[in-house]
Amino acid sequence: MNEFPVSKPPVSEKPGFLRLAKFQVYRLLKGELVTRRDVVTATAAGATGIAIERMFGFGINFSSKQVEKVVSGAVPKIEVIDARKSKQAIEKLGDYVYLTPEKLGGGTHAVDMGAGKTLAWISYWNYGDSCPISHHLAAYPSADPLKHFEFVNSTQGGDNVTIYNIPTQIKERGLLDKWGQGNHIYRVNFDGQSMNLMEDVAATTGMGLGVHTTIYPDATGFAGADGQKDICAFFDRPPEPKTSVLAAFRADWIPNDPKGNLEDNWAKGGRVRLEKLVPAKETGKFDLEGSKGNKLNWEMVPMAEYLVYTGQLPGDSPRTLTGLDAVVHHPGNKYSALILRMVSSAIIIDRKTWEPVTCLHNPEGSPDNLEIKKVSSNPDTWEVKFDDIKCVGHEAGFSPNGKIFTMMNNIKQNNMAVFDTSSPDPRKWNRFTFVKDPDWKGDFPSPFHLCFSMDGKKMFVSVLYPKPQLSGCCVVDTESWKIIAKFPNIGPDCQTMAVTYDGKYVFQIFSGFQRLSSGVFIFKQDTLEPVGYLPNFGGHHDCVIIPRKNEDLKNSRCTTL
């Protein structure tokens, strides 16, 4: 075991030249080449000297048994590293391509990490989309991303442009009509020089979904979802740009107390009804483009479930809302989880039969694995019963080895439920612990997005604060399920994360919403040393490093959100 103990003492306050000397010794002891550039970067980050103090100041024995004892024993001291002390990253980050959507910027761009420049970009305004809110994306593997790759990008539109307090006249000028309703699903390729729009999957299939997209573990297609519509769909990956829908589902909430106040509409329990959707026989297409099928006028921004059950987020059918806005895939390539935010649950679908198997329920104090029963055919319909709903949920994901599933509980409970998913039968997947932090209380701060280290030994979690406060992220040891490090004050609105597939770096994007500073904060996966910041233009909401092979998808926008 080559990694150092994960808990560390506070950063040294000794003079800079002593930190430099200790940093050089630390690198040499690890057998790494110490360059002038490395020293400058680490010194600017204010994190040098930590490892040497662990060795010389605290007398740690670095045998593998000693390291394992540190990880699995008593709760480690949490290292807190103020991200604001970091400077611009200057070390070479590897020959990877980093892909990010620009939210209200209306497009997506790719960064060549090795060269430190934008590789290519695309703007959906140029294709007649009069309100492209470039939202979430996922990329297929490419053996050489610098020469070619393909990705899927969802977009929002319609009234969503009005929720950011921007004094815009875009609605009054008619730009939100037919061509600005959004919910497009764009397939885009990079040909070595430029990005090119291949297909609008929403137009091809009639299935318009504007939120999460995730590639299948075998790269044969992708899933999309939309929490305004409570609809998800599974798509193939055709050799030519004519995508088809393999299966689609709508979830509806049927409350026990349908005439009570809005909060009791969910809190007092009820049923989730899952219906398999079929396209029109005459056209072979669904009729769900643009805003058709919306239950809400606007998306649920982070923690906006509260706005729904207090009547502040209107729409045609808020009482039936489940918040089905994402799908994540078990790396075994058989099961997928439909993420339901309003009931903090995940319905597990068998992608071979397109039958739901079970429902994982996350809140503390609630049963964790609920039976789902088929109640009718033509169309196929299933229901799962909830005695009560103790809190809402948000993002979720599977570990790279498929043995863990986790999902956030938010607002009334701020924690992360952790399930053992090692059994081949999802009906035996059970919750065994929670990731907690004394600071996670009230509405904020809240765990928000997650990803795992390449070896699965760490889980990285973005932690959201409301503006004007800066958000951060934390590191969880996946043996003890305790937080071992925190990076506060990264920037506003920390969103998704990505790890480089060589296991060296973690990228934390921030400013998923608009008119605030944006960028990428980078730290090392194993030692958790901060590397620094890179500029990222456009107010990004998601990120993905282009995978080179199917195996990389286990740590990409496939298994986690």
CATH assignment at residue 187: 2.130.10.10
pLDDT on residue 253: 98
Other CB atoms within 10 A of residue 283 CB: 9
Last residue of a domain, one of 24, 59, 75: 75
For the segment 98-111, the average pLDDT, to the nearest whole number, is 92
| For residue 1, pLDDT beyond 90 | no
pLDDT band at residue 187, thresholds of 50, 70 and 90?
A: very high
Q: Give the Cα separation of 331 and 403 in Å (integer).
A: 9
With a CB cutoff of 8 Å and minimum separation 6, the contacts of 186 are 124, 152, 153, 154, 155, 197, 199, 200, 201
Q: Which residue matches tokens 């207090």?
A: 310
Residue 4 lies in a domain: no
pLDDT on residue 89: 65
Q: Which of 268-282, 291-305, 381-395 has the lowest mean pLDDT?
A: 291-305
Q: Give the Cα separation of 417 and 361 in Å (integer).
A: 9
- Are residues 173 and 52 located together in one domain of the fold? no
Residue 89 near residue 531, CB atoms below 8 Å: yes
pLDDT on residue 61: 26
- Are residues 310 and 333 located together in one domain of the fold? yes
Q: Give the Cα separation of 114 and 95 in Å (integer).
A: 5
Orientation angle between helical segments 16-29 and 36-45, nearest 10 degrees:
120
pLDDT on residue 417: 98
- Are residues 55 and 93 located together in one domain of the fold? no
Taking alpha carbons only, the member of 473, 488, 468 closest to residue 543 is: 473
pLDDT band at residue 561, thresholds of 50, 70 and 90?
A: very high
Question: What is the sign of the dihedral through the CA atoms of 87, 91, 92 and 96?
Answer: negative
pLDDT digits (tens, 9 = 90+) for 483-506: 999 999 999 999 999 999 999 999
Q: Which residue matches tokens 């690198």?
A: 27
Taking alpha carbons only, the member of 154, 296, 140 closest to residue 212 is: 154
- Are residues 31 and 70 located together in one domain of the fold? yes
Residue 468 lies in a domain: yes
- Are residues 97 and 67 located together in one domain of the fold? no
For the segment 94-100, the average pLDDT, to the nearest whole number, is 94
Outline where DSSP puts E strands in 353-481: 355-361, 369-370, 372-376, 381-386, 392-398, 404-410, 415-420, 430-435, 446-452, 458-464, 471-477
pLDDT on residue 75: 65
Residue 375 or residue 518, greater confidence: 375
| For residue 153, pLDDT beyond 80 | yes
Question: What is the sign of the dihedral through the CA atoms of 416, 421, 426 and 430?
Answer: negative
Q: Give the Cα separation of 299 and 16 in Å (integer).
A: 48
Residue 41 lies in a domain: yes
pLDDT on residue 556: 97
| For residue 434, pLDDT beyond 60 | yes
- Are residues 110 and 31 located together in one domain of the fold? no
Last residue of a domain, one of 31, 46, 75: 75
Give the number of C-alpha atoms closer than 13 A to the C-alpha of residue 539, restricted to the C-beta side: 12
- Are residues 206 and 266 located together in one domain of the fold? yes
Rounded alpha-carbon distances, angstroms, from residue 20 to 201, 209, 432: 54, 51, 44
For the segment 285-303, the average pLDDT, to the nearest whole number, is 93
Q: Give the Cα separation of 146 and 538 in Å (integer).
A: 22
> Which residues on neighbouring strands pair with residue 99, listed in sequence order?
110, 544
pLDDT on residue 27: 39
Average pLDDT in the chain: 86
DSSP 161-217: GGTT-----TTTTTTTSGGGS---EEEEEE-SS-EEEEEEHHHHHSB---S-EEE-T
| For residue 36, pLDDT beyond 50 | no
| For residue 37, pLDDT beyond 50 | no
pLDDT band at residue 183, thresholds of 50, 70 and 90?
A: very high
Lateral strand order in the sheet of 195-200? 133-139, 149-156, 185-190, 195-200
Q: Give the Cα separation of 508 and 381 in Å (integer).
A: 40
Give the DSSP letter of residue 88.
Answer: B
With a CB cutoff of 8 Å and minimum separation 6, the contacts of 56 are none
Q: Give the Cα separation of 508 and 485 in Å (integer).
A: 15
- Are residues 122 and 192 located together in one domain of the fold? yes
- Are residues 105 and 61 located together in one domain of the fold? no
Last residue of a domain, one of 25, 42, 75: 75
Q: Give the Cα separation of 160 and 138 in Å (integer).
A: 22
With a CB cutoff of 8 Å and minimum separation 6, the contacts of 364 are 390, 409, 413, 415, 417, 434
Helix, strand or coil for residue 523?
Answer: strand
- Residue numbers of the domain that contains 198: 83-555
Give the DSSP letter of residue 517.
Answer: -
Residue 76 or residue 293, greater confidence: 293
Percentage, residues of the chain above pLDDT 70: 86
Residue 6 lies in a domain: no
pLDDT band at residue 74, thresholds of 50, 70 and 90?
A: low
pLDDT digits (tens, 9 = 90+) for 329-363: 999 999 999 999 999 999 999 999 999 999 999 99
Q: Give the Cα separation of 504 and 82 in Å (integer).
A: 20
- Are residues 36 and 170 located together in one domain of the fold? no
| For residue 104, pLDDT beyond 90 | no
Taking alpha carbons only, the member of 105, 87, 86, 215 closest to residue 150 is: 215
Token code pair at residue 526: 């194993």
Q: Which of 161-170, 309-318, 334-343, 351-360 has the lowest mean pLDDT?
A: 161-170
Q: Give the Cα separation of 192 and 195 in Å (integer).
A: 8
Residue 7 lies in a domain: no
pLDDT digits (tens, 9 = 90+) for 194-253: 999 999 999 999 999 999 999 999 999 999 999 999 999 999 999 877 999 999 999 999
| For residue 323, pLDDT beyond 50 | yes
Q: Give the Cα separation of 506 and 510 in Å (integer).
A: 13
Total number of domains constituting the chain: 2
Residue 334 lies in a domain: yes
Residue 10 lies in a domain: no
- Are residues 64 and 98 located together in one domain of the fold? no
Give the number of C-alpha atoms closer than 13 A to the C-alpha of residue 410, restricted to the C-beta side: 29
pLDDT on residue 18: 34
Amino acid at 415: N
pLDDT digits (tens, 9 = 90+) for 107-132: 999 999 888 889 999 999 999 999 99
- Are residues 337 and 376 located together in one domain of the fold? yes
| For residue 409, pLDDT beyond 90 | yes
Residue 3 lies in a domain: no
